[in-house]
Amino acid sequence: MDNSIYQNPLLSRYSSQEMLHIFSADTKFSTWRKLWIALAKAEKELGIDITDEQIQEMEENIYHIDYDKAAEYENEFRHDVMAHVHTFGDCAPKAKGIIHLGATSCYVGDNTDLIIFRDALLLIKKELINLMNELALFCKKFKSMPTLGFTHFQPAQLTTVGKRASLWLQDLLLDYEELEFVLRSFRMRGAKGTTGTQASFMALFENDEDKVKKVNESVCEQMGFDRDFKVTGQTYPRKFDTRIVNVLSSIGQSLHKFATDMRLLQNLKELEEPYGTHQIGSSAMAYKRNPMRAERICSLARGVMGNTIQPTMTASIQWFERTLDDSANRRISIPESFLATDAILRIAIDIVKGIDVNEKVIHKNIMAELPFMTTENILMEAVKKGGDRQELHEKIRQHSVAAAREVKKEGRPNDLLDRIVNDDAFGLTHDDIKKILNPEQYTGRAAHQVDEFIDSEITPVIQKNKDLLGLQVELRV
């Protein structure tokens, strides 16, 4: 690494080697060469004068890429595709005259992008499935553990630790469904020519439409696609990039929400992300334990969500059959969206695998609020013992206001229950109150909802994709 110049932190700090390889120069330009070989094979099969020897020479040099020579050619031609045509021809001289025959630059450029984006989404899918599996295990394990629920970040009715986590999992399920749709909609640009009319191929095959169609079909099949965009300009529809980046943004939204919840819960000391033995939370405050993993997810996810504007603008301003103002933008915004999404998924897997659940703190926080939440149950129990409902309601209101004042203004513990027990009008003992204050009574169907959701909707997805399980993640920093 040359430390004297800027290095993209997605490369040096965050993204996985697998995703970095998918977007590497080696992957891109070797795919260009595979596409040129696929085209040559298709053209040879349909009668063009191309020899087996030429194709063999091309195949033997797929990965022999002289990047210095390509840079020299591009500096001369100001054209990246022609630079690599000549670079390929230099190492496969017998085939030099038939490389790129009948094609336009987007034949290699766009088709390679689609192949790379598909492969990158398949890696994203693998990471998403592994995250969903880990989160499902967490939900099941803690499905019955009561915890204080919040609305507006104010104490509300109880839920369970597993039920809250199932909300994160529900979001990821929606992302999975969207991702599957995008993968199903993938197709190649194919061999369409300069403005998408296949005119150059019509000239090459002397206006034999069947042969022109077969060239296109053969190339798609050789590159692993069973469908293509039937009509294109010079490029495939740039709206398809919007579809791709939108699903990455959707995952970013879900994990930003998950990570934000984790940050709030860590402040409450209820749930905490993993913490290394020698990890330093602050250079000044040695006691601090910051949620740095969750914060990193939020930071990277914001970048992915912000990137959604780029392909929408590009798609909206393409003139007629194409303009080149898409190129530089797409080289940056789309790969970086993938690299960041790859990073946040792996960080999320790392967090979920090592979440520290502080059960005693969770219980303490419940008991600080539960007396207020159970006043209706206390009221009903007191009425059963002969009390007057309306009179007791007013007394509970007064005791609640007084107890709240003690908590908020004096910083003292919630003494509402002591006030009620010491008020003879209620006729309740500490044992009576203790039975009423069992948190498990107030979580509704939370545990059963977790089981029903995971068994009916998550488990089938995991089973369908079980071959993707077992991903090992290791954070780089």
Residues 218, 320: one domain?
A: yes
How many angstroms separate the CA atoms of 370 and 443, rounded?
Answer: 12
Amino acid occupying residue 331: R
Walk along the chain (477 residues) and give the pLDDT tens digit of each residue: 678 899 899 999 999 999 999 999 999 999 999 999 999 999 999 999 999 999 999 999 999 999 999 999 999 999 999 999 999 999 999 999 999 999 999 999 999 999 999 999 999 999 999 999 999 999 999 999 999 999 999 999 999 999 999 999 999 999 999 999 999 999 999 999 999 999 999 999 999 999 999 999 999 999 999 999 999 999 999 999 999 999 999 999 999 999 999 999 999 999 999 986 545 555 455 445 789 999 999 999 999 999 999 999 999 999 999 999 999 999 999 999 999 999 999 999 999 999 999 999 999 999 988 888 888 888 888 888 888 899 999 998 999 899 889 888 888 888 888 898 899 888 888 888 888 889 999 999 999 999 999 999 999 999 999 999 999 998 876
How many angstroms separate the CA atoms of 406 and 410, rounded?
Answer: 5
CATH number at residue 398: 1.10.40.30
Residues 246, 323: one domain?
A: yes
Give the structural domain span for 288.
106-276+283-357+455-468
Residues 100, 112: one domain?
A: no
Residues 33, 77: one domain?
A: yes
Q: What pLDDT shows up at residue 276?
A: 65
Q: List the structure tokens of 114.
A: 């689609």
Number of Cβ within a 10 Å radius of residue 75: 9
Amino acid occupying residue 205: F
Q: What is the pLDDT of residues 95-128, one digit of tens each?
A: 999 999 999 999 999 999 999 999 999 999 999 9
Residues 145, 177: one domain?
A: yes
Query: 278: burial class by Cβ within 10 Å (0-12, 13-18, 19+)?
Result: exposed
Number of Cβ within a 10 Å radius of residue 459: 13
> Do 392 and 312 contact (CB within 8 A), yes or no?
no
- Candidates 293, 296, 183; CA nearest to 248 is 183
User: Cβ contacts of residue 468 below 8 Å, gap of 6+?
Assistant: 125, 126, 129, 130
User: Cβ contacts of residue 242 below 8 Å, gap of 6+?
Assistant: 308, 311, 312, 315
- Final residue before a domain boundary, out of 105, 132, 152: 105
> Do 355 and 272 contact (CB within 8 A), yes or no?
yes
User: Cβ contacts of residue 282 below 8 Å, gap of 6+?
Assistant: 288, 290
Residues 268, 221: one domain?
A: yes
In total, how many domains does the chain have?
3
Q: How does the average pLDDT of the chain come out, rounded? A: 94
Q: List the structure tokens of 409.
A: 């203004």
Residues 13, 130: one domain?
A: no
CATH number at residue 25: 1.10.275.10
- Final residue before a domain boundary, out of 74, 105, 136: 105
User: Cβ contacts of residue 12 below 8 Å, gap of 6+?
Assistant: 1
Q: What pLDDT shows up at residue 38?
A: 98
How many angstroms separate the CA atoms of 155 and 270, rounded?
Answer: 14
Q: Which residues sit opposite 160 in a β-bridge? A: 146
- Candidates 237, 249, 239, 240; CA nearest to 308 is 249
How many angstroms separate the CA atoms of 203 and 201, rounded?
Answer: 5
The pTM is what? Answer: 0.93
Q: Strand 356-357 to strand 271-272: parallel, antiparallel, or no bridges (unpaired)?
A: antiparallel
- Candidates 431, 430, 435; CA nearest to 419 is 430
How many angstroms separate the CA atoms of 144 and 155, rounded?
Answer: 19
Q: Which of 282, 316, 327, 448 is catalytic?
A: 282
Residues 337, 268: one domain?
A: yes
- Catalytic-residue membership of 152: yes
How many angstroms separate the CA atoms of 271 and 258, rounded?
Answer: 12
Residues 412, 267: one domain?
A: no
Q: Which of 152, 278, 283, 456 is catalytic?
A: 152
Q: What pLDDT shows up at residue 198?
A: 97
- Catalytic-residue membership of 363: no
In the chain, % helix, strand, coil (3-state, to 5) comes to: 65, 5, 30
How many angstroms separate the CA atoms of 346 and 16, rounded?
Answer: 8
Q: What pLDDT shows up at residue 160?
A: 98
